[in-house]
Amino acid sequence: MTERVVVTGIGMVTPLGVGVEPTWQAVLRGDNGIGPITRFDATGFPVRFAAEAPVAGEGAALKAALTELAVREALDMSGLPGGERVGVCVGSEACRPPWTWLWRKDMPTAAEVEALAPDAPTRQVAAIAGALGPRSTVSTACTSSSQALGEAMQRIRRGEVDAMVCGGVDALSEPLMVVGFSKLGALSTRNDDPSRASRPFDLHRDGFVLGEGAGFLVLERESCARARGATVLAVAEGYGCSCNAWRITDSPPDGRGAYDAMRLALEDAGLSPADIDYVNAHGTSTQQNDASESMALARLLGPVPTSSTKGMTGHLVAACGAVEAIFTILALRDGVMPGSRNLEEPDPACPVNLVREATRAPLRHTLTNAFGFGGSNGSLIFGRP
């Protein structure tokens, strides 16, 4: 029998705060992490707001700062020592060169160029953790860190490592991303009311909100965690991954790719749909994604309590899967389901049992989804220790 994989450390930085507890308490209150863009002068831009993390910096330097804060918190909580049996898997995307490079007279240094690579955070995490085992980077848009966690689970199960430091980081409050996603028609344009812009599953949703943040977890073989006296926060029970093979920017109306990812996660965990007590949905606040995910949830899980925390955090893209996985672990720990901010008039096209405000409930198993541009889908299931 394959040994269980457990979670012994978590760390995160989000638009709601620096650290696990400040962010989680803000989520339970239903706080807003969205406001006017401060990273650059957005005057004249079609969208002038974002979900910025309360951390100074820009570009690669900002991603590095977010990564360090979240990873060190997870490692401090876990007490994990480094070594040859510790690996790293990070969900991340390439950074864009700063606009100031356009008028630089000198050439960027090799270090500056390397810091833009998708695997720059992976190298950083390995160095911080002293991890000498396998190292890999996943770059599948919004599913990146969800898949990073899943890949980490599988490495531990196969016996390749005893522990993995895994998660994701992203920071998209920058000119090119704001313009690009605006051109796609994917972003909310509520410039006059940013705090109500991200409204997953609401009838009047008009797009997602770009965000910044990082989330990291320490996963271990249960016997290793118990042997060193680590506190077990949750069991990483199941992982499912699929591809829509549909279109780049939206999901199939019947939600088949999302359905397959969740079904595979249930099979991997050895659970039935009735075992899932709460779902943290991908719920981006776009018309097509929310409706598609709702179809999949209703078909597979029925009226399971569901919420999307993106109404508070915005969309953290490559980091959202890991951050929202941490939310589901905290929901298990505290026996409380986070609510859905800005859910004022549920869309009839989204037939899900939506949790409006933080609600106490006895939780045994929680599921979290992440679905990315290009049709990548990832689902993770966590259980009480």
For the segment 311-354, what is each residue's pLDDT rounded down to a tens digit? 999 999 999 999 999 999 999 999 999 999 999 999 999 999 99
- Which residue of the set 142, 166, 241, 350 is catalytic? 142
Average pLDDT over residues 24-49: 97
Which backbone phi and psi does 235 adopt, to 5 degrees? -105, 130
Cα torsion 261, 148, 24, 7: sign: positive
Mean pLDDT of the chain: 95
Q: Which of 240, 263, 235 is nearest to 366 (CA)?
A: 235
Active site residue 204: no
Q: What is the structure's pLDDT at 249?
A: 67
Angle value at C-alpha 279, between 87 and 323, nearest 5 degrees:
40
The question of whether 315 is a catalytic residue gets the answer yes
Are 6 and 219 contacting, i.e. CB atoms less than 8 angstroms apart? yes
Exposed e or buried b for every residue in 257-281, given b needs 16+ CB within 10 A?
Answer: bbbbbbbbbbebbebeeebbbbbbb
Q: What is the pLDDT confidence band of residue 1, given thresholds at 50, 70 and 90?
A: low
Could you say which of 95, 166, 315, 320 is catalytic? 315
DSSP string, 15-66: TTEESHHHHHHHHHHT----EE--SS--TT-S--EEB--S----HHHHHHHH
Q: Among candidates 4, 241, 11, 5, which has minimal Cα distance to 125? A: 11
CATH number for position 25: 3.40.47.10
**Count of beta carbons in the 10 Å neighbourhood of residue 192:** 9
Name the packing angle between helices 144-157 and 320-334 (round to 10°).
70
Domain, as residue range, for 276: 5-383
Binned at pLDDT 50, 70 and 90, residue 112 comes out as confident
List Cβ neighbours of 51 (8 Å cut-off, separation of 6 or more): 15, 33, 34, 173, 198, 209, 210, 211, 212, 213, 313, 314, 315, 316
pLDDT in tens, 353-376: 999 999 999 999 999 999 987 778
Residue with tokens 């000498």: 132
**Residue 134 is encoded by which pair of tokens?**
């396998």
Number of domains observed in the structure of the chain:
1
- Of 115-119, 145-149, 155-159, 348-352, which gets the smallest average pLDDT? 115-119
Let me know if 282 is a catalytic residue: yes
The one catalytic residue in 89, 95, 241, 282 is: 282
Q: How far apart are CA 149 and CA 342, in angstroms?
A: 29
Query: What is the spatial distance between Cα 345 and Cα 193, in angstroms, rounded to a whole number?
Result: 17
Q: Which of 179, 172, 38, 175 minimizes the C-alpha distance to 100? A: 175
